[in-house]
Amino acid sequence: MSIVLVLLALAIGCYLVAVFEGWAVHGRFSLMRPAISALALLGREQILPRTPDRLFFETGPILLLVAGLLSVAVIPLAPGLIITDLAIGALFLNAALAYVLVALIMAGWGPNGAYAMVGGWRFLGQFIAYAMLIVMPITAVAMRAESLSTTQIVLSQAALWNVVYQPIGFVLFVIAALGVAWLPPIDLPTGGGDLAGGVEAEYTGARLAVWRLARLVIVVALSGATVTFYFGGWLGPWLPGWAWTALKTVAVAAAMLTLGRHLPRLREERYLAVSWKLGISLALANIFLVGVIALLVPI
């Protein structure tokens, strides 16, 4: 039962994120647009590039969707309202998100097109930049909660949300999350201006529909993870738990979508340099600070 409810919530969340993204990109708020675009995608021609690596080409979008869905599976909406409450939930989230890289490389390699391949390799560089900044803040969160279970992590924030407890980790995690979901200003693999769609360039029809859906699922998963790790998940007054999670998730997703629209796109080289020189130093400092605070203060 809870599985069906979570999947339903995910579907609604994806739709809302699609509406917001349309709003952020086109500047017009339309509740119908995502449905129309989805139908239009299904109605379009499905073209297979000339000499593709068929296996990689077909697997890319599917793997991306699997990665997104599996990471949603460990995010709690409310106590008991979670698909699988794994004891290693936070680690599982990482493991699932690692497949985003594999899916993008597959989609880049598959069609045997120059732009797609450049996008794929670029994402590999982007992965090396963001990967550490996803896992290190999560470690600091787990240190406070004394558990990797996402439910325990939410419960550990009853006294004080992690966004206040470890703000450095929060900022790093959100920036890295933009990288995972290739949202602007870190949308290197699809790079609107210079790559003609990049890894998405050769996908049409139903394959592109699956790809876009998978990307929406990943955005929802990442904002859900941000809420779980830093905004106290379902904790909040007056409203029922699931409503708080939903509200916070939508708010974080909307913030992530709007934030990057006002910044120039980062080059891969700059992104790598900033994340390794500044980001990793800050992430290690964050782990140390949280370690000291966790020993001194009982909350």
Partner 1 sequence: MSELAQYAILFGLTVGVLGLVLSLHALARVIGQSRAEPAKDVPAAAGSLSRDPVWVRYHAKYYGYALLFLAFDMEMAFMYPWAVVYREEGLVALLDMGVFLAILFLGLLYGWSQGALRRQ
- Comparing CA positions, the residue from 219, 209, 14, 208 lying closest to residue 116 is 208
Distance CA(186)–CA(165), nearest Å, equals 27
Nearer to partner 1, 59 or 258 (CB): 59
Looking at this protein, which amino acid is placed at residue 284?
Answer: L
Give the integer Cα–Cα distance in Å for 199 and 107: 6
Total binding residues toward partner 1, as defined by CB under 8 A: 69
Cβ neighbours of residue 70 closer than 8 Å, sequence gap 6 or more: 92, 96, 99
Q: Within positions 22 to 61, which residues make up the interface with partner 1, using CB under 8 A?
A: 42-43, 45-50, 61
Is residue 128 at the binding interface for partner 1, with CB under 8 A as the rule? Answer: yes
- Of 163-171, 199-207, 228-236, 243-251, the window that binds partner 1 (rule: CB under 8 A) is 199-207
Phi-psi region of 182 (alpha: psi -120 to 50; beta: other; left: phi over 0): left
* Closer residue to partner 1 in complex, CB, 204/258: 204
In the bound complex, what is the minimum distance in angstroms from residue 126's beta carbon to partner 1? 10
Residue 194 touches partner 1, criterion: CB under 8 A:
no
Establish if 295 lies at the interface with partner 1 (CB under 8 A): yes
- Alpha-carbon span 20 to 3, nearest angstrom: 25
Structure tokens at 38: 């989805």
- Least Å distance, CB 72 to partner 1, is 9
For the purposes of burial, counting CB atoms within 10 Å of the CB of 68, is it exposed (0-12), middle (13-18) or buried (19 or more)?
A: buried
Residue 121 in contact with partner 1, rule: CB under 8 A: yes
Choice between 108 and 252, CB closer to partner 1: 108
User: Does 272 contact partner 1 by CB under 8 A?
Assistant: yes
Tell me: does residue 79 bind partner 1 (CB under 8 A): no
Using the rule CB under 8 A, which residue among 268, 279, 282, 286 binds partner 1? 268
Residues 35, 13: Cα–Cα separation, whole Å:
14
Give dist(CA 184, CA 142) in Å, integer: 29
Give the binding range for partner 1 (CB under 8 A) out of 165-173, 201-209, 224-232, 256-264: 201-209
Task: In angstroms, give the least distance from the CB of 24 to partner 1.
Answer: 25
The CB density around residue 87, as the number of other CB atoms within 10 Å, is 11
User: Residues 6, 24, 252, CA angle at the centre, nearest 5°?
Assistant: 40
Contacts to partner 1 by CB under 8 A: 3, 42-43, 45-50, 61-62, 65-66, 69-70, 73, 83-87, 91, 109, 111-117, 121, 124-125, 128-129, 131-132, 135-136, 139-140, 142-143, 146-148, 196-197, 201-202, 205-206, 209-210, 268-269, 272-273, 276-277, 280-281, 284, 287-288, 291-292, 294-295
